[in-house]
């Protein structure tokens, strides 16, 4: 199994804005990523880090690193990013409430 991790540090009271962007919307059916071959699941976690900041962690589980790479290179994934860029007339600015973003990938060994 392969796990992709994304972490956002946001100002207090704004974790819901990140969560809303990525949470499952039952009335819309499965998202494009949920329909991808090799996709296992996704979790969103929230932590009150310290006064004034919150942390949102998203873990996306894949059957393999190859399945994740296929999603990253897929026309659907690329089109989603292009639409966001077009919507903002270039690279979208980082919202002020996002203090930091980090990502990493891991291979599950057990």
Q: Taking the alpha carbons of 15, 31, 33, 94 in that order, is the dihedral positive or negative?
A: negative
Tokens of 9: 């540090």
Q: Which residue has the higher pLDDT, 110 or 68?
A: 68
pLDDT on residue 32: 85
- CATH top class, domain 2-107: alpha beta
75 pLDDT more than 80: yes
Q: Which one of 21-25, 63-67, 79-83 scores highest in mean pLDDT?
A: 63-67
- Contact predicate 53/7, CB 8 Å: no
pLDDT on residue 64: 96
- Return the bridge partners of 7, or none: 57, 102
* Mean pLDDT, residues 59-73 taken together: 95
pLDDT on residue 89: 67
Please state the domain extents for the chain. 2-107
pLDDT on residue 22: 83
pLDDT band at 76 (very low <50, low <70, confident <90, very high): confident
């Amino acid at each position: 199994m392969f796990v992709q991790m994304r972490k956002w540090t946001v100002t207090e009271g704004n974790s819901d804005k990140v969560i809303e962007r990525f949470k499952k919307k039952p009335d819309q059916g499965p998202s494009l990523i949920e329909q991808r071959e090799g996709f296992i699941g996704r979790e969103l976690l929230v932590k009150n880090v310290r006064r004034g900041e919150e942390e949102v962690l998203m873990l996306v589980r894949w059957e393999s690193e190859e399945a994740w790479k296929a999603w990253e290179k897929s026309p659907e994934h690329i089109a989603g990013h292009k639409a966001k860029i077009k919507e903002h007339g270039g690279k979208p600015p980082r919202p002020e409430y996002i203090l930091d973003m980090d990502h990493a990938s891991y291979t599950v060994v057990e």
